Amino acid sequence: MTAKKDELEAIYLEYRSLREEIITAMHARNSILSFGLATIGVMFSAIAAIFVSGSNTMFSGLVLFIIVPLIVVFILLIWLGEYQRMHRAGKHMISLEERINLIQKKEILTWETMLRDRKAHMGYPYDTTIVLLVAILFASFCIGITLIEITNSTYQVLAYIAGALFSVVVYVSAVTKMSELRK
């Protein structure tokens, strides 16, 4: 009987550890998003101050066209990594719930299994985050192109198209990754 109790104790400790990992990943995602958006806000404020002062709009445009989009992608990738970490832990928790319930011969732990079976995972907060970051990415491209003041309209149109395509690629990649994880 003690072997069964020891096994249950070990599984339960692992289960609790995974629950803590999920909570840590949730906090990390929120911190990443908060600090990332604050950084982008500071950059936009600095660019606005430079623009209002009338100095170096070319520099401002290049920062918005190159640096801010790279920061947005960096934020999104780290945020998605934490999302993946949370899902990985949740999937393993399902197997632990099944083992505990099998050993106990009744349903004791059901939360992760219920979320999966009912497809009750909330997707909209995560989807909204991706849309927000991609919108910032695209807006930064557009404002940057405008500030650079490209004199050749063909090059300006090509730059807008490149920004739009890059934004679409980032969006589709992030949504695809989220969809794969939710399966």
**Residue with the larger pLDDT of the pair 58 and 139:** 139
Residue with token string 């730059």: 159
pLDDT, position 120 = 66
- Cα 183 from Cα 181, distance rounded (Å): 6
Is residue 50 a contact partner of residue 59, using CB atoms and an 8 Å limit? yes
pLDDT, tens only, 26-39: 999 999 999 999 99
- Cα 78 from Cα 21, distance rounded (Å): 16
Q: What is the largest CA-CA distance in the chain?
A: 82
pTM given for the model: 0.86
Residue with token string 């930064």: 140
pLDDT, position 1 = 58
pLDDT, tens only, 41-60: 999 999 988 888 877 778 88
Mean pLDDT of 11-32: 94
pLDDT, position 124 = 81
With a cut of 70, say whether residue 114 has pLDDT above it: yes
**Residue with the larger pLDDT of the pair 115 and 68:** 68
